[in-house]
Amino acid sequence: MASSATQKVLHVGVKKQPGTLVYVRRVSGDINEVCSSTKGDPSAVGKIIAQVTFRREPGYFYYVDAAGDISRAKRVARGASRKRAPAKPVTSTKRAESAQGGTDYIALVLDKSASMRGITAAALKAFNDLIDSIVANAGDRNVLVSIYEFGTSLDVVRSWSPASQLLRLTHYAPNEDGTRLFDAVGAAISDMQRYEPTDPDADVSFLLHVVTDGAENRSRTYNASTVRALMDKVQNTDRYTLTFMLPPDAKTSFCAAFNIPEGNVEEWERTTAGVARSSTATQSGMTQYMNKRARGVRSVKTFYQTNASAITEHQLRSKLRNVEPEVRVWHVKAESDLRPFCEQNSGAPLLNGACFYQLTKPEKNVQAWKKLLIRRRGTTEIYAGDDARTMLGLPIGVDVGVNPGNHGDYDVFVQSASVNRKLVRGTDVIYWPAIGIPFTEGASAPVSRARR
């Protein structure tokens, strides 16, 4: 079998090891696997290196070229003329333009440096939960996902798999001593750039999500200046959303250095509980992002923030209940402790769960049982119900960190069960006696189920 007019089809960057045979095989439809096996050993079982997605055309032979990428060559009859032509990449825009009804490219980038070793199981679960969230929210959109892992090395684990066929990760081994953060970001963005459409009206967007617990220390291709320039370039297209999960105290300096919107960056703690909280926040952000994409929004700057800007009056009135007649609203003129403030204004002992404070700053943990209220600005209407969380892009039934974002024409209030919460000057408090119960001294505790 011979070839002519070789063409590069897909960048994968597989590293070929001496004594191994690397090849690509079709699994089903456009799903293919890059595998390796020991040369000269017919009994060797091929090891799957990466899952890749591309469309095979009749009359071509597909193979892994010297650079570790997928290339193809025309099949020719035996004895026919074999004139080799220079390699020419397949035009990157054709794929995006062929799906202009709505295409999302999502690149997930996971740190596999040794510092992640203590939370291996929790990180793997969180990453797979995110994959599940993407699959659940894809709907009938054309969603394609690539997964990268980086440490000292940089590996493509999945390459543009359709969401409907996206496989969960079964192996994650964080044991490398470097953090090639810049190279990982640069490689993922460069891969996405190949699919930028030529039609300015095409409904095509790109999302980068990076999870790391440390700082850059080992990149070879990109440095701070070049990766900043690349991120600026793609963000200026208004098609790219770049999001990052970073270690504690890294957000402010990172956003300033790389011009990333603060609403697209979240800090997380390297503990099992920290991973769980960040996982919930990311799934919530992904749900909001996919909902906005379904409405034609191309990029977001508030991936990790609550967003009430898209709530309509019809949604409020059809899905929630107006509790205005049952509540009282008090303005906080000076910073105050919750308990004396409420008792002074109500003239009665504080009831557990009756007080709602206005959401104006990040809250690390809003428990699953807490109610949320939405007030329509310029009116006295105040709405309650389980769907309030959904409207704000928050999951139901789990504890979640909350960052206030664009609340549009609405104010958001969170139920408090704390005796000593500090109320912020200039905010409002909503008091709902009908759902409160006599307070038990001590730490914050769930309100009795009978009164929720």
CATH architecture of 95-294: 3-Layer(aba) Sandwich (3.40)
Running DSSP on this structure, what letter comes out for residue 306?
B
> For residue 40, what pLDDT band results from cuts at 50, 70 and 90?
low
Helices H, strands E: what count in the chain?
9, 25
Q: How far apart are the first and last CA of the chain?
A: 72
> For residue 28, what pLDDT band results from cuts at 50, 70 and 90?
low
Residue 99 has pLDDT above 60, yes or no: no
Give the pLDDT of residue 46: 60
Q: What is the pTM of this model?
A: 0.65
Residues 335, 354: Cα–Cα separation, whole Å: 19
Lowest mean pLDDT among 15-19, 36-40, 289-293, 313-317: 36-40
What pairing do the DSSP bridges indicate for beta strands 154-162 and 204-211? unpaired
> For residue 90, what pLDDT band results from cuts at 50, 70 and 90?
very low
Running DSSP on this structure, what letter comes out for residue 11?
-
Lowest mean pLDDT among 14-18, 254-258, 448-452: 448-452
> For residue 89, what pLDDT band results from cuts at 50, 70 and 90?
very low
Lowest mean pLDDT among 30-44, 220-234, 402-416: 30-44
Average pLDDT over residues 155-175: 90
Buried b (16+ CB within 10 A) or exposed e, 328-358: eebebeeebebbebbeeebeeebbbbbbbbb
> For residue 315, what pLDDT band results from cuts at 50, 70 and 90?
confident
More confident residue, 233 or 85: 233
365 neighbors 277 (Cβ within 8 angstroms):
yes
> For residue 190, what pLDDT band results from cuts at 50, 70 and 90?
very high
More confident residue, 451 or 336: 336
Task: Report DSSP letters for 359-385, one per residue.
Answer: --S-EEEE-TT--EEEEETTS--EEES
Residue 338 has pLDDT above 90, yes or no: yes
Residues 272, 450: Cα–Cα separation, whole Å: 32
More confident residue, 300 or 26: 300
Outline which parts of the chain fall under CATH 3.40.50.410.
Answer: 95-294
> For residue 84, what pLDDT band results from cuts at 50, 70 and 90?
very low
Give the pLDDT of residue 12: 79
374 neighbors 311 (Cβ within 8 angstroms):
yes
> For residue 215, what pLDDT band results from cuts at 50, 70 and 90?
very high
Task: Name the average pLDDT for the chain.
Answer: 85
- Which of the residue ranges 25-39, 47-61, 284-298 has the most confident prediction, judged by mean pLDDT? 284-298
Average pLDDT over residues 221-246: 97
Residues 108, 241: Cα–Cα separation, whole Å: 12
Average pLDDT over residues 1-11: 67
pLDDT digits (tens, 9 = 90+) for 386-424: 899 888 877 777 777 787 877 888 999 999 988 789 999
Kindly give, in sequence order, each residue whose CB lies less than 8 Å from that of residue 373, ignoring residues fewer than 6 positions away.
323, 327, 356, 382, 383, 384, 388, 412, 413, 415, 430, 432
Residues 409, 378: Cα–Cα separation, whole Å: 8
Residue pointed to by tokens 């270690």: 247
What pairing do the DSSP bridges indicate for beta strands 103-111 and 204-211? parallel
pLDDT digits (tens, 9 = 90+) for 123-140: 999 999 999 999 988 888
Give the pLDDT of residue 438: 86
Give the pLDDT of residue 174: 96
The residue type of 426 is G
> For residue 57, what pLDDT band results from cuts at 50, 70 and 90?
confident
Please choose, from the candidates 109, 94, 128, 129, the residue with its C-alpha nearest in 3D space to the C-alpha of residue 10: 94
15 neighbors 45 (Cβ within 8 angstroms):
no
More confident residue, 384 or 82: 384
Give the pLDDT of residue 96: 42
Give the pLDDT of residue 273: 85
Give the pLDDT of residue 401: 76
Residue 450 has pLDDT above 70, yes or no: no
More confident residue, 434 or 443: 434
